[in-house]
A and B are shown apart, each in its own frame.
Chain A
């Protein structure tokens, strides 16, 4: 008798998890970082591994930090939007190459186009932790004072860019 109860038991456990899952919002976790200074880092640059980059270099500019990886399917979906945005030249876009392999990352950029002014390498995801990255892609809009003003979890779409990112960036650039 008991062994026939196993499937039911496992299922009840699963339903419990799914019920908790409903209260979580994987796409819309409010970032405690919005309104706070962007966490500092000092990371090697993807295309020039001997060079390093710190966010302080972007002081005085409004810029986007986009977390990406060559293994991430949604990044490919998002990528044309970034390329288009870079073409317009409204603001610099920097990449945070997250938990990726260097050669795969450069090959990926070569294939799909490189919208980034530069990409920094966060190979073990330590900086990702500081930024609260839990899924790739994510994008942060950072103002001239180095404060995070907006965070997009999941891929940017043209609609989000037009409706949220660009108006906010224009306002901040004034």
Chain B
């Protein structure tokens, strides 16, 4: 009964989405107030029904209803309750429902926090989002219904993939989808502005907090995924350039370019065409990612079970939505007035260069991801593109972007002062250079690439600190947005420190250990105490005990596991990690090699936490920026804000 209610709720949601899209878009175009008024209640109603459907599916999983095919394929009665609920989004069908739920949640948020938007603008935005939901709801109902029944019901389920039975599965997908789908708001704002012909600073100001919020979620989602891969996959790596990772990373790159470009459009009225294009591309890449993961055109460890029918459906949808918006873009953009002019040395040109670099980096990632497909489609052979390509192409493209990000916040809008900039950056440059040259010596081994990495990191951090000090001395109040920007920039620096030090100084040993054996690595001693059998709720495991000591003092007792899950029988490595600010000690159990001996792998990963801590700083900075007071003030007094912007643009153009 519950699954039927869920199914019905989805059908109702589809009907509402159709009505919302058709009525509010027509209403806004033909100026019919009654139609325009439909947008807000429709969006809220849609959320209620989608949430109900999601609740029904979660309930089916929670209550072990194995007469639902999706539950029988992805859950099991012995699966712990938290993972049974997380299994709701563990399959293709369920994750689509999560996608739709997130889209509806963003729609709800737009409908609630948009009191200041003109009614026809809001109708257009919600109409566009409703149109997207029409596509996804019908995709789900016609090709991938999560509520399909299995008759007769299975006695028990096939279980959730053991890799996914982890706390990461509970948080990573919802965060990631929240970010992915969140770019639909920026997209809808852009399309609405194109339809309306009202591409101005006000539009940019409205879009900014939404775009930044989506970017924050995406940043957190990707960081969580990386952290999860680090400890769960047992390889000790944190990024693999897998096609599906790339699918989430490409919208992030464009999203980063977009939030910077939006800043210019809001403050200076410039880059309008570029900003709109980025808004379209960011969401297009989210859709493309959805296609790549679910159509089977690429092979990846993440890929869902695939079906050509689904691929054709998403591709058609992709062609309509993205093709339609790019056509609209080409048609409308030439009517938009050019923006304010600026000098070569100005914050605008720094931001423009940065967003171009980010777009090029994204194009390089896209090329690497799709290259096997391109060659295959042209009949030129089948190849795979791996980390060597991405590492060697991506890092050199990002390095100048990081250099510019250190300078940008110190430059004035429109026309910067070169001499002043040099004076301001003198100390930052000296600190960064000395630190980068000598810090590697503290680790005992100097390498040019390590120094270059650290130089970039220290440069952007000291640039941010310099900008902070200058603002502080000027005694003007610092806006939350400006502080958030500096924090996010410093986060990039922290991230780079982590990446550089891990890449340069990580050490590892593979050992054959018998109980009582001791091994040394990086000044730590590891004593293998032996392995015993333990039983989890739905798995049996061999659990090792390793005592880690430094200078005779016990630092940690680590318990890495080798698990065999009862249902799917795949062996899983559960690494044990002693985390620290300056290093992680990572121990994984290999195989039994006769007698009581086991193979054991030990890593010491210096400063690896800084990678995720840097991401957290970026996300927190984004959060501060998105919650800046002036968006709320602007929200309350839209007339004043747009008047002020208009003045700003005029004076800038003069």
Question: Could you tell me which A residues sit within 8 Å of B by CB distance?
Answer: 1, 4-5, 7-8, 11-12, 14-15, 17-22, 24-27, 29, 71-74, 76-77, 80-81, 83-84, 107, 110-113, 134-136, 154, 157-159
When C-beta atoms are compared, the residue in chain B nearest to A125 turns out to be B383
Q: Dominant SS at the A interface?
A: helix
Do residues A27 and B510 form an inter-chain contact, with CB atoms below 8 A? no
Do residues A17 and B315 form an inter-chain contact, with CB atoms below 8 A? no
List chain A residues, Cβ under 8 A from B376: 21, 24, 26
Do residues A71 and B330 form an inter-chain contact, with CB atoms below 8 A? no
State the Cβ distance, B102 to closest chain A Cβ, in Å. Answer: 24
Do residues B315 and A22 form an inter-chain contact, with CB atoms below 8 A? yes
Question: Could you tell me which B residues sit within 8 Å of A by CB distance?
Answer: 233, 235, 240, 242, 273, 277, 280-281, 284, 291, 295-299, 301, 308, 311-312, 315, 318-319, 322-323, 326-327, 329-330, 333-334, 370, 372-374, 376-377, 381-384, 386-388, 510, 568-571, 573, 590-591, 599, 601
27 contacts between A and B (CB under 8 A): A1-B334, A4-B334, A7-B329, A8-B327, A11-B326, A17-B374, A17-B377, A18-B297, A18-B373, A20-B377, A21-B376, A22-B295, A22-B297, A24-B373, A71-B387, A71-B388, A72-B386, A83-B591, A107-B510, A113-B591, A134-B381, A134-B382, A134-B383, A135-B384, A154-B299, A157-B570, A158-B569
Q: Contacts A73-B242, A77-B301: A111 and B601 contacting too (C-beta < 8 A)?
A: yes
List chain A residues, Cβ under 8 A from B312: 22
State the Cβ distance, A114 to closest chain B Cβ, in Å. Answer: 10
List chain A residues, Cβ under 8 A from B308: 22
Q: Contacts A4-B333, A80-B570: A111 and B297 contacting too (C-beta < 8 A)?
A: no
List chain B residues, Cβ under 8 A from A25: 296
Which of A11, A14, A111: most chain B CB closer than 10 A?
A: A11
List chain B residues, Cβ under 8 A from A134: 381-384
A24-B297, A73-B240, A113-B599 are known; give 15 further A-B pairs, CB within 8 A. A1-B330, A4-B334, A7-B277, A7-B280, A8-B326, A12-B323, A17-B374, A21-B295, A22-B297, A24-B377, A74-B299, A107-B510, A110-B510, A135-B384, A159-B568
List chain B residues, Cβ under 8 A from A20: 377
When C-beta atoms are compared, the residue in chain A nearest to B363 turns out to be A10
**Distance between Cα atoms of A76 and B235 in the complex (Å):** 9
List chain A residues, Cβ under 8 A from B297: 18, 21-22, 24, 26
**Distance between Cα atoms of A110 and B322 in the complex (Å):** 49
Q: Contacts A11-B326, A73-B242, A76-B235: A158 and B568 contacting too (C-beta < 8 A)?
A: yes
Do residues B315 and A19 form an inter-chain contact, with CB atoms below 8 A? yes
Question: Which of the residues B319, B322, B571 comes within 8 Å of A80, measured between beta carbons?
Answer: B571
State the Cβ distance, B547 to closest chain A Cβ, in Å. Answer: 22
When C-beta atoms are compared, the residue in chain A nearest to B569 turns out to be A158
When C-beta atoms are compared, the residue in chain A nearest to B336 turns out to be A4
State the Cβ distance, A15 to closest chain B Cβ, in Å. Answer: 5
Do residues B330 and A113 form an inter-chain contact, with CB atoms below 8 A? no
State the Cβ distance, B647 to closest chain A Cβ, in Å. Answer: 28
List chain B residues, Cβ under 8 A from A76: 233, 235
List chain A residues, Cβ under 8 A from B327: 8
When C-beta atoms are compared, the residue in chain A nearest to B158 turns out to be A159
List chain B residues, Cβ under 8 A from A154: 299
Do residues A17 and B318 form an inter-chain contact, with CB atoms below 8 A? no
List chain B residues, Cβ under 8 A from A136: 384
State the Cβ distance, B128 to closest chain A Cβ, in Å. Answer: 18
Do residues A18 and B315 form an inter-chain contact, with CB atoms below 8 A? yes
**Distance between Cα atoms of A91 and B523 in the complex (Å):** 43
**Distance between Cα atoms of A115 and B137 in the complex (Å):** 47
List chain A residues, Cβ under 8 A from B370: 14, 17
State the Cβ distance, B136 to closest chain A Cβ, in Å. Answer: 18
Do residues B571 and A111 form an inter-chain contact, with CB atoms below 8 A? no
Question: Which of the residues B242, B330, B383 comes within 8 Å of A4, measured between beta carbons?
Answer: B330
What are the 4 closest A-B residue pairs judged by CB atoms, nearest first? A134-B382, A21-B297, A8-B326, A20-B377
Q: Contacts A11-B322, A17-B373, A27-B296: A158 and B570 contacting too (C-beta < 8 A)?
A: yes
When C-beta atoms are compared, the residue in chain A nearest to B297 turns out to be A21
State the Cβ distance, A46 to closest chain B Cβ, in Å. Answer: 17
State the Cβ distance, B645 to closest chain A Cβ, in Å. Answer: 24
List chain B residues, Cβ under 8 A from A19: 315
List chain B residues, Cβ under 8 A from A5: 330
When C-beta atoms are compared, the residue in chain A nearest to B333 turns out to be A4
**Distance between Cα atoms of A4 and B273 in the complex (Å):** 9
State the Cβ distance, B307 to closest chain A Cβ, in Å. Answer: 11
Which of B233, B242, B334, B384: most chain A CB closer than 10 A?
A: B384
List chain B residues, Cβ under 8 A from A71: 386-388
State the Cβ distance, A162 to closest chain B Cβ, in Å. Answer: 8
List chain A residues, Cβ under 8 A from B329: 4, 7-8
